[in-house]
Structure 1
Amino acid sequence: MYSSYAQDFSGDWKGTVDIRGSKLDIAFHIEKVDTIYTTTLDIPAQGLNGAKASNTKVDNTSVIIIFSDLKLTYEGSLNYNGEIIGNMKQGGFPIPLNLKRGTVILKRPQEPKPPFNYYSEEITFVSDADNVSLKGTLTLPEKDGQFPLVIIVSGSGPQNRDGDMFGHKPYLVLADHLTKNGIAVFRFDERGVGESGGDFSKVTIELSSLDVKSAMDFLKERREINNAKIGLIGHSIGGIVAPKVASENKKISFLVLLAAPGVPGDQLMLSQKAAFEKDMGFNELQIQQGQKLVEKAYDIIKEAKLDNQSLKDSIHSYYKNKYGNLFPENQRKALVNQITSYEVASFIRSRPSEYLEKIKIPVLALNGDKDLQVLPKENLAAIKAALDKAGNANVEIMELKSLNHLFQEATRGSLGEYSEIEQTFSPIALDVLTAWIKEQVK
């Protein structure tokens, strides 16, 4: 039986929550200094690591951990077996979460582990946009020699050099595979992420393009790089950034587009929203209502030349006038903040064809037929049409069977599968793009 004085909760704790049939591993690390407890939270499958609690309260055998930034609270009590029995609350809804001592380790069999049989070097370069220092990793097949180079241009959201997402590191896996096949690879932390300076909240497609160009300008001067054979691999929104850089710079000699947008940004976001809602079981009426909810807001973003705050105010006014109290304030604010962020707003305004129609260099465009974020048929068709308009005959377009947006072998392609799948990057997709790049640089 536990005594009445406070127990020591220090150490690593792990548990699993069940959210609508999808299981998610949760880990807490609790430390005690004198009488003060501090806690960090990891949800590896969602790429959340080391989130700091704003308060940890211990009272005898009970603990309350508050994460104000995440609007999340955990409350639990020790039982006779030394386990914490409790609930996690987010948005006021309790979800059972029992904890036992231990850490969460995800099965990621493809993730490369040192020592590596190639040369790796930490690189710092300065963006021409505003002199912000950005950091990344250059991998070379050997320390000495001259090699073709690819620069990985990351997808949406704040991405580090490995592309940490849903417990996977796809850009690390990709870089490792290419380097082992004789190709130098550079991947870097985006602004405000990892070891890079700057502020990610201000990132747009234009700013990302300047950062990629600065990386290329810096690396092409290295003696190990064959500056006549430099290519870009753009994933997701990086598949807009990469063509933009290539359309403006003759030093780029080939382009790989992975799940890249081909249709206008607002159109893609509408089709993505419909695909997600269909996957979640929404009926056609609900899906159409969802389209109507956002399409006018997208029009405002496309047409208005307003600063960020004025744009938010304009869309809030639209929703208040259109829906009044039928659209709850907290939901309205969350939606407006999301779609008016610098990156998302620049994506909504984007027209990939604007850059693709200027591309004359060899292009490989790959997409998975299970991709719900960038629907393969309409986007690959739009990419091909734009490149045809450019008169580009050196183009290969492939829709790969059973692959999702991250190029994992998937059943449905839904977001919930990303973390559950142990595979990080399909070996078939890796082999296809590697063989194509080697053909371009031979």
Structure 2
Amino acid sequence: MKSAVLLSATALRCKKINPKFLGIATLLICLLRVAAIGAAAPATDISGLWAGTLIRSGQALSVRIAFSREQSGRYTGSFGSDAQAIMDYPLDSVRIAGRRVAFVAGDGDLRFSGEVRDGTIAGTFDGDEGKGGFVLHPTAVRALPYNVEDVAFANGGATLKGTLCVPSSRGRHPAVVLLHGSGPESRWGTNRFIADRLARRRITALIYDKRGSGASTGNWRTVGYEALADDAIAGMTVLAKRTGIDANEIGLWGHSQGGFIAPLIAKRSGHVAFIVAADSNASTNREQDLLRVTNEIRDNGWTVQEGTDALALYMHFLDVASAGGQGYDQLEQDLQRNKDKPWAAWIGVPPMNSWLYKWYPRVANYDSRVYWKAIRVPVLLVYGQHDELSDISGSIATIDALVRGGGGPAVRSIILPHAPHTLHIAPMSGHPFFWWHMASGYPAAEIDWIWKVTHLAKKESHGLARLSSPYEARSSY
């Protein structure tokens, strides 16, 4: 309101003076005063890297947030946290108005509102992580000890966009293709963090956006696991053609669905040197889905009869989904009969027009055991101690027996204490808050294992200095 009043008064004063009787300088002063008062305060430039903390309930989380200003004036940004094993995860949006800064992270999960003052950005956040405050300080951008290159490769009509993290040291390096979990996944976040740690240890890493995600074309919902496997193999081809990579030491690292299809990729390729499979069940896809829902029903606190009824309806749904939607009318009648049951809404059966009924028949009967028995290379299995989606002991025993039965080496395994399927340690409901964090030892122990099964360990034994990382952790396996 004050600015509007000043603008009106100044404009009126200028209007009362006939320009013919003003010197040019005086006229310009009047016009500049009008423009200066009427214009909005210029936005503060926040380009660069900021480091600081998010604070909730007295608990602090160290973070890094990078802001970039495009030529159009639009800002973009990314989020990172070592504790959460996140790197370069794109912010959803960034808005600047004068000193006010607002940005959104985590696919809408966290919303920040702050102000630039005295060289800091400070304010509040709210979202799935609750409410709290944050403070960010500008910090120097340190050069990465490896090279970063954007790449693109094609398979089955899809163009996959990715990033290579290439060690700057001389010689031929082992390499890893990092695979995706279920659903849409980009190269950023955890895979980018793992790629960083690999490259710091002289291991080239390829990360890429899953088809239909990020900058990649195609649609993972319209293909089966074979197409996803061939996407990864196309990435392996990119690596094998590079002079700085040992084509005989290209391995795979996948979590959940990525670990589930890793043996399929290895068999179809014939050139995979090692496999890191995290939270991967030795079963069919349908069996794994049934195990997941059985465990969730057990933990929901329903009566035995309620749990039995809920599982029966879910199995009916799996039958219909596996058949591409055939029998949906009977399933709908089953849902109607049980609509008042305490678990009815929880089941969440998709409508008949859902993409799932075209996708699920392609993957329902995929059986990872068929492909594990063809593996002859070193395998490291990683599980969260409380993985609710996997039969941990059964999967380890089965995969080990299949690999060794075919003449492969004994399978190694790591159990990460207290971790669920996501490998994120988070507070339980009703317990005091703490920021979720990646399970201790992941991914450092897995990278140590890759060292042991590649030529890097031989180089180390011959006097080549081992590159250590401040993020390493030890684990027995």
1:368-407 alignment, distance < 5 Å: 368-407=384-423
1:277, distance to aligned residue in structure 2 (A):
3.1
Question: Partner of 1:429: helix, strand, or coil?
Answer: coil
Name the structure 1 match of 2:175.
Answer: 149
1:193, distance to aligned residue in structure 2 (A):
1.0
1:178, distance to aligned residue in structure 2 (A):
1.5
Runs of 4+ deviating beyond 6 Å: 328-332
Give, as a single letter, the amino acid of the residue that structure 2 aligns with 1:253. A
Question: Partner of 1:175: helix, strand, or coil?
Answer: helix
Change (3 A) 1:336 1:257: farther
Matched, 1:266 2:290: no
Name the structure 2 match of 1:364.
Answer: 380
Name the structure 2 match of 1:89.
Answer: none
Change (3 A) 1:428 1:102: closer
**Cα contact 1:146–1:223 (8 A) shared by 2:** yes
Matched, 1:316 2:328: yes
Structure 2: 5+ residue stretches without partners? 1-42, 44-83, 94-107, 109-122, 135-140, 456-477
Distance 2:226 2:174 in 1: 26
**Cα contact 1:134–1:190 (8 A) shared by 2:** yes
Matched, 1:290 2:304: no
Distance 1:368 1:49 in 2: 28
**Cα contact 1:319–1:327 (8 A) shared by 2:** no
Matched, 1:422 2:401: no
Change (3 A) 1:173 1:315: farther
Match for residue 124 of structure 1 among 152, 155, 158: 152
Give, as a single letter, the amino acid of the residue that structure 1 aligns with 2:203. I
Name the structure 1 match of 2:222.
Answer: 202
1:87-236 alignment, distance < 5 Å: 115-127=143-155, 129-130=156-157, 132-142=158-168, 145-162=171-188, 169-236=189-256
**Cα contact 1:258–1:366 (8 A) shared by 2:** yes
Name the structure 2 match of 1:353.
Answer: 369
Distance 2:91 2:361 in 1: 27
**Cα contact 2:297–2:307 (8 A) shared by 1:** yes
Distance 2:92 2:452 in 1: 43
Higher RCO (CA < 8 A, seq sep 6+): 1
1:103, distance to aligned residue in structure 2 (A):
5.2
1:192, distance to aligned residue in structure 2 (A):
1.5
Question: Partner of 2:329: helix, strand, or coil?
Answer: helix
Distance 2:144 2:309 in 1: 52
Give, as a single letter, the amino acid of the residue that structure 2 aligns with 1:241. I
Distance 2:439 2:399 in 1: 22
1:213, distance to aligned residue in structure 2 (A):
0.9
Q: CA RMSD in A?
A: 3.7
Distance 1:298 1:251 in 2: 35
Name the structure 2 match of 1:246.
Answer: 266
**Cα contact 1:402–1:410 (8 A) shared by 2:** no
Query: Aligned residues: percent identity?
Result: 22
Give, as a single letter, the amino acid of the residue that structure 1 aligns with 2:328. H
Q: Provide Cα deviations, 1:193-228, integer angstroms capped at 9, x if missing partner.
A: 111111233142111011111111122101121101
Give, as a single letter, the amino acid of the residue that structure 1 aligns with 2:200. K
Change (3 A) 1:300 1:357: farther
**TM-score, L = length of structure 1:** 0.65
Distance 1:404 1:387 in 2: 26
Question: Partner of 1:281: helix, strand, or coil?
Answer: coil
**Cα contact 1:152–1:185 (8 A) shared by 2:** yes
Name the structure 1 match of 2:51.
Answer: none
Q: Provide Cα deviations, 1:166-204, integer angstroms capped at 9, x if missing partner.
A: xxx221221111111111111100112111111233142
Distance 2:191 2:235 in 1: 16
**Cα contact 1:269–1:348 (8 A) shared by 2:** no
Structure 1: 5+ residue stretches without partners? 1-10, 12-44, 52-69, 71-100, 108-112, 163-168, 305-310
Give, as a single letter, the amino acid of the residue that structure 2 aligns with 1:189. D
Question: Partner of 2:350: helix, strand, or coil?
Answer: helix
Distance 2:444 2:370 in 1: 30
Which deviates further from its counterpart, 217-226 or 271-280?
Answer: 271-280
1:388, distance to aligned residue in structure 2 (A):
3.6
Which deviates further from its counterpart, 370-379 or 331-340?
Answer: 331-340
Distance 1:175 1:340 in 2: 32
**Higher alpha-carbon Rg:** 2
**Cα contact 1:339–1:345 (8 A) shared by 2:** no
**Cα contact 1:356–1:390 (8 A) shared by 2:** no
Change (3 A) 1:343 1:301: closer
Give, as a single letter, the amino acid of the residue that structure 2 aligns with 1:426. A
Give, as a single letter, the amino acid of the residue that structure 2 aligns with 1:440. V
Change (3 A) 1:256 1:145: same
1:325, distance to aligned residue in structure 2 (A):
4.9
Change (3 A) 1:402 1:358: same
1:403, distance to aligned residue in structure 2 (A):
1.6
Distance 1:353 1:360 in 2: 14
Give, as a single letter, the amino acid of the residue that structure 1 aligns with 2:180. S
> Matched residue pairs, number?
330
1:247, distance to aligned residue in structure 2 (A):
1.2
Match for residue 299 of structure 1 among 319, 325, 329: 319
1:324, distance to aligned residue in structure 2 (A):
4.2
Question: Partner of 1:257: helix, strand, or coil?
Answer: strand
1:407, distance to aligned residue in structure 2 (A):
2.0
